[in-house]
Structure 1
């Protein structure tokens, strides 16, 4: 098979791969299981994720991406190679062109690291595009008209807020508060209040099942199990939506503040468009219960959750790949 164009949403929590003509062909967690004594990669993606918090001492399940950028270059490269081999896209004769997404405020060194990881994994030409722009395109927004569009992309490691017009970013902000921080907040709250140690996966489950960030928007309860910090024995407790809303309050207010700042820096004509069109929420964090209600209440503009918010960036790469030659593209030179 000849080289095909592929788009990669290289996220802190998940990697999604879009193949031109085939759609989204891969959606797996950004996790690599490594044997510590030999540094040998044992598992990648779904298989490695099942090991998180459940491995013996000589095996660690690592996330090579942190806060939207590469934390471990070699493991990121191994992970990308594994995923590209899995979808059987590389050929002897030609390599695919790769479009990869990154947060808005990363440094040129971090951009170079992402590009090199993609090249070493088998990419021919590697293009970098800013995540909120790609997410907005994937959410179905027409950002190429002279009118304002606002997107809040809440991922695993970063939240990107941007106002777009004429196919480019007018004002933007990228903060390191997103899904991972929410999990950490829940973990810390349970530890502090109940003296109970729980794992990351339990915290994530609480976030999905009972969490809300808008007061009174949800009333659910869940039983969770963990290790008692006093006795050292397993124990079960119940937590409810109100408690989790309290636990997440501080982090969510940072996202609200970043959104307000972007709106404050937006030219008045574009602000008027945003009142008409509303703000679109994308990324896995858009599924956090009540986040749309909270942002609408605080920003005084309509807030809508995109269809399939977790797939917006990957879908956006697909649309850009279709128009790669026509669109203004940001190519990072070697």
Structure 2
């Protein structure tokens, strides 16, 4: 009877990304990608929009509407906002399912145990019958096709919007890791600050994101140029600026140094037994930050080890979670699990 119910209920992986929440259903694959935004009417407390609809409202909302981000930083998750957001996401995902789902959440490796427990409790309060957690570097390694069950060590860096995490994987577990909160979101904020200080112009989050996408490169000899419109700091009038690759080159390299220092810090902690494996196999890059042009070749001489980018790095975590769902019994000892309290 239980096996029959298992077949009727959904088994979901939910990657709790700072920028995007992704949902994978066992047997179906990726079924939803939702920008991590929730629009709420502060007077009525009513949810007005979520996901892309809420994201598109940025900078265009009335005074009584606020945009909230449920998964901003590992230590700053807002339980009520996160639960409201996931309730809407699950409603989308479970349209045809009448039974309680099994849910696998991805979480940062650096997440405090109390917040991990709260995340699990949130899953049960949303109606799950079983809740598991997996740390994002391990999920990304599985999604990249790394043979994580091997005794030899594997080395991966997950470059997300809210957190960068580098970790060593061996025997199906995360052996050790390091993290930095100077991540993708801070990259965009830093671009806004950079232009404000250097050119006395204020630009939107979307413009900063576009500039990074079009001009951010660590390759020499790849010129690019973008015309942007911002607000003049002195006159408050609209101001146009032609920004090229060289204008932001030093800024981009400064941000890349965050990754270099993170990896070096982790390398200093790698157990002697795994050092040779890490050096031989090199570093895999996953997450949206891995899409920075030239990052892999930039890191090689800085770190002295091979560096490569995984396929479709933004979805490495949720892809790995999908693999876990397909082999849940085999992976259970690598996962966090708590029964309903």
The two structures share one fold, judged by TM-score above 0.5: yes
Determine if the alignment matches structure 1 residue 115 to structure 2 residue 115: no
The one of 9, 12, 18 equivalent to 2:15 is: 9
Contact 1:89 1:96 in 2 (8 A): no
- In the TM superposition, residue 271 of structure 1 has moved relative to its aligned partner by 2.3
Determine if the alignment matches structure 1 residue 155 to structure 2 residue 160: yes
Aligned counterparts, 1:129-168, within 5 A: 129-168=134-173
- In the TM superposition, residue 217 of structure 1 has moved relative to its aligned partner by 5.7
User: Which residue does 2:322 correspond to in 1?
Assistant: 318
**Which structure 1 residue ranges, 4+ long, deviate > 3 Å from structure 2?**
89-92, 248-251
Per the normalisation by structure 2, the TM-score is: 0.93
Per-residue CA deviation, residues 65-94 of structure 1 (Å, 9 max, x unaligned), is 1124553222211111111111235743x2
Return 5+ residue gaps in structure 1 as ranges. none
**What value does the CA root-mean-square deviation take over the aligned residues?**
1.7
Determine if the alignment matches structure 1 residue 197 to structure 2 residue 202: yes
Question: Against the structure 1 CA distance between its residues 69 and 45, is the aligned structure 2 distance closer, same or farther, given a 3 Å change threshold?
Answer: farther
Return 5+ residue gaps in structure 2 as ranges. 1-6
Contact 2:18 2:73 in 1 (8 A): yes
The one of 182, 186, 189 equivalent to 2:187 is: 182
Determine if the alignment matches structure 1 residue 26 to structure 2 residue 32: yes
The one of 65, 68, 71 equivalent to 1:65 is: 71
Partner Cα distance (1:89, 1:70) in 2: 30
User: Which residue does 1:276 correspond to in 2?
Assistant: 280
Contact 2:109 2:165 in 1 (8 A): yes
Partner Cα distance (1:124, 1:248) in 2: 45
Question: Against the structure 1 CA distance between its residues 309 and 185, is the aligned structure 2 distance closer, same or farther, given a 3 Å change threshold?
Answer: same
Contact 1:32 1:63 in 2 (8 A): yes
Contact 2:10 2:94 in 1 (8 A): no
SS at match of 2:8: coil
Partner Cα distance (1:90, 1:177) in 2: 40
- In the TM superposition, residue 219 of structure 1 has moved relative to its aligned partner by 1.7
User: Which residue does 1:39 correspond to in 2?
Assistant: 45
- In the TM superposition, residue 183 of structure 1 has moved relative to its aligned partner by 0.2
User: Which residue does 2:292 correspond to in 1?
Assistant: 288
Per-residue CA deviation, residues 17-73 of structure 1 (Å, 9 max, x unaligned), is 010000011112101111122222100001111111222222122212112455322
Partner Cα distance (1:170, 1:73) in 2: 29
- In the TM superposition, residue 199 of structure 1 has moved relative to its aligned partner by 1.0
User: Which residue does 1:125 correspond to in 2?
Assistant: 130
Determine if the alignment matches structure 1 residue 229 to structure 2 residue 229: no
Per-residue CA deviation, residues 170-226 of structure 1 (Å, 9 max, x unaligned), is 2211211211011011000011111111111111111111112x2626321111111
Per-residue CA deviation, residues 239-291 of structure 1 (Å, 9 max, x unaligned), is 12233232233333122111011112213442222233221100111111222
Partner Cα distance (2:267, 2:64) in 1: 49
The one of 82, 86, 101 equivalent to 2:92 is: 86
Q: Mean alpha-carbon deviation: is it higher for 278-287 or for 262-271?
A: 262-271
Partner Cα distance (2:213, 2:263) in 1: 23
Partner Cα distance (1:262, 1:110) in 2: 24
Per the normalisation by structure 1, the TM-score is: 0.94
Contact 1:70 1:114 in 2 (8 A): no
Partner Cα distance (2:189, 2:107) in 1: 23
